[in-house]
Chain A
Amino acid sequence: MKSFEYTVKDELGIHARPAGLLVKEAKKFQSECTITKGDKTKKLTQLMMLMSLGVKQGDTVTVSAEGADEDTAIAELKAFFENNL
């Protein structure tokens, strides 16, 4: 399993649109991708659950990927967070 930590800079946090794009991104990989905030972990492919985490600006989340393409997945997800959130 690979993972990284990220602190959200976007003013609105992981709001509707980036959440939607993030789900699209995560669905590209075979690996199971998850996001953890505090003690809650959700799959990155679950849009509404992801939104329900209510990740705000300044929150630190952990993103993990586990599976055959986990290296690529983590690299691309990291790039996604840095560019969009």
Chain B
Amino acid sequence: MQSYQGKSVYKGIAMGPVVVLKKNDYQVKRTRIEDPEAEIKRVDEALEKSKEQLQKLYDKAVQEVGEASAAIFEVHQMMLEDDDYLEAIQNTIRTEQINAEYAVAATGDNFAEMFASMDDDYMKARSADIKDISERLVRNLSGQDDADLSSIEPSIIVADDLSPSETVQMDKDKILAFVTVHGSTNSHTAILARMMNIPALIGVDMDLEEIHTGMEAVVDGFQGTVIFEPDETVKAQTTEKMAEEAEKLRLLQELKGKENVTLDGHKINIYANIGSVGDIGYVMENDAGGIGLFRSEFLYLGRNDFPTEEEQFQAYKQAVQMMAGKKVIIRTLDIGADKQVDYFNLGNEDNPAMGYRAIRICLKQPEIFKTQLRALLRAAVYGNLSIMYPMITSTEEVKKIYEIVAEVEEELKAQEIQYKIPEQGIMIETPAAAIISDRLAEMVDFFSIGTNDLTQYTLAIDRQNEKLDEFYNPHHEALLRMIRMVVDNAHKCGKWAGICGELGADTTLTEEFVRMGLDELSVAPSMVLKLRKIVREMKVEE
């Protein structure tokens, strides 16, 4: 197995045989000629032929990728009519008394060099266009046809670089992926690959001498990797991933933009759980209606000191702005238990799941909590933000939280900093909170049931202990009754209730949850459309 990393220009996965395209090095020979005018006439003829070919390519590209992306071949035609370019070729032939092929190649190199040296990535990428048209001219001068790329088997195309005309000439159904050593994300080849929905990796530092036509390869556009001669494990993983992708695409085509509504008209919000701003792309890709659980721990983990208010503010602001008006529920710090951070100096505990964690840290060390609250209140100005407090067990805790929020509000007001008090809710993840959810519902705007902790606390089963797997029943009646109770108590006070734990994504329970009247399910982005499908195919009244 040989594995290489590259820059992915289209996210997709492919597996199949490799075809290595080696540029025919038209060893352009320099020969002296007697009759420059005859050579110039040959250039004119080759020029006409090139323009005809480009017109055909343009027509093919218009059909396959649309007018805007096909325009490159129109530009190529115009470049071939450029006076400076043509005069330079003619002058070279006349003054140096050399053959047309050499004059074209030399002129093409000069112009390509001019663009390659420009201080602008877009213009740099244009040097490939000039090389492309010059090579076409040379081919036509020497009577060679375009390399025939139409008769290959479905393959992964591996090349040093691909010109736009090479890319578009290939039969789209027979290209599994492109992998090139050179190229830029701005190149037309990259743009065409995106338009054609073909996985493509560029800038792959591979040795083309070691890669041969007929080898097998796996291209993963999500990871930006290509693996030649993959072993059975990699192949099996890839097959699985491809099936998942295909399923996702199918669901997307079927369900994107559709409402989460049952056949008899009941609606539910399906949101996504995420762990960092970087995940928002997946939220959008999977068409989630909002973010139901944004774990703020990512700001605290993997560093040596507390994140500043400004850092947090920027991250939250970016999230709500990216979601453009859709709900973003940010859970305050949930450190402790299985998530340890050195600089918090939490010390070792015998029973961390029941220990000093989450809101308990925030209430005992309000200076940490206040920094996060300030950032959240400030970011709330920029979009549809909600705050969610984890690990609540009592009404006193909620009162204490509101006191701290009020202090933060006073400070911000005094400093004349823009802020907004957003919707505030709590996680129901302790049996205590579930049982007094009627009282809690009077105090907060919403509930989100954290089924992972609620299950372990209710069943007295440590999630990390494998020996207990056979006793662990996430469908335990106690749990389902609690969920129903929490939902009913929320609704009695006119509040909404959702689930953000793993159980929310359990497709065997989706129908039951909708019937219970849950207002929201927040799940991994990849599950959003699967749940939407179930909801759209069910009825609440049987």
Q: Using a CB–CB distance below 8 Å, which chain A residues touch chain B?
A: 12-13, 15-17, 19-20, 23-24, 45-49, 51-52, 54, 56
Contact = CB atoms under 8 A, between A and B. Distances in A.
Contact of A17 (B71, B82, B115, B130): B71
A16 B82 contact: no
B43 to A, nearest CB: 17
B129 interface: yes
Given A51-B126, A54-B119, A20 B75 contact: yes
Given A45-B83, A52-B115, A23 B78 contact: yes
B118 interface: yes
Given A13-B122, A16-B129, A20-B78, 7 more contacts: A17-B72, A17-B75, A24-B78, A47-B82, A48-B84, A52-B115, A54-B118
7 closest Cβ contacts across the A-B interface? Answer: A20-B78, A47-B82, A16-B75, A17-B71, A20-B75, A54-B120, A48-B82
Interface string B55-87: 000000000000000011011001101111100
A13 B118 CA distance: 14
Contact of B122 (A12, A46, A47, A49): A12
B374 to A, nearest CB: 36
B62 to A, nearest CB: 14
Contact of B83 (A24, A46, A52): A46
A12 to B, nearest CB: 6
A43 to B, nearest CB: 9
Interface in B109-141: 111, 114-115, 118-120, 122-123, 126, 129-130
B122 A48 contact: no
Given A17-B74, A20-B78, A51 B84 contact: no
Contacts of A16: 71-72, 75, 126, 129
A15 B122 contact: yes
A16 B70 CA distance: 12
Nearest to A50: B82
Contacts of A45: 83
B114 A52 contact: yes
A32 to B, nearest CB: 13
A45 B322 CA distance: 43
A47 B76 CA distance: 11
16 contacts: A15-B122, A16-B71, A16-B75, A16-B129, A17-B74, A20-B74, A23-B78, A45-B83, A46-B83, A47-B79, A48-B82, A48-B114, A51-B126, A52-B114, A54-B119, A56-B120
Nearest to B84: A46
Q: Which of B111, B115, B123, B129 has the most CB of A within 10 A?
A: B123
B83 A54 contact: no
A19 B123 CA distance: 12
B82 A46 contact: yes
Q: Which of A16, A23, A49, A56 has the most CB of B within 10 A?
A: A16
A44 to B, nearest CB: 12
A15 B129 CA distance: 13
Contacts of A15: 122
B79 A48 contact: yes
A50 to B, nearest CB: 9
Contacts of A13: 120, 122
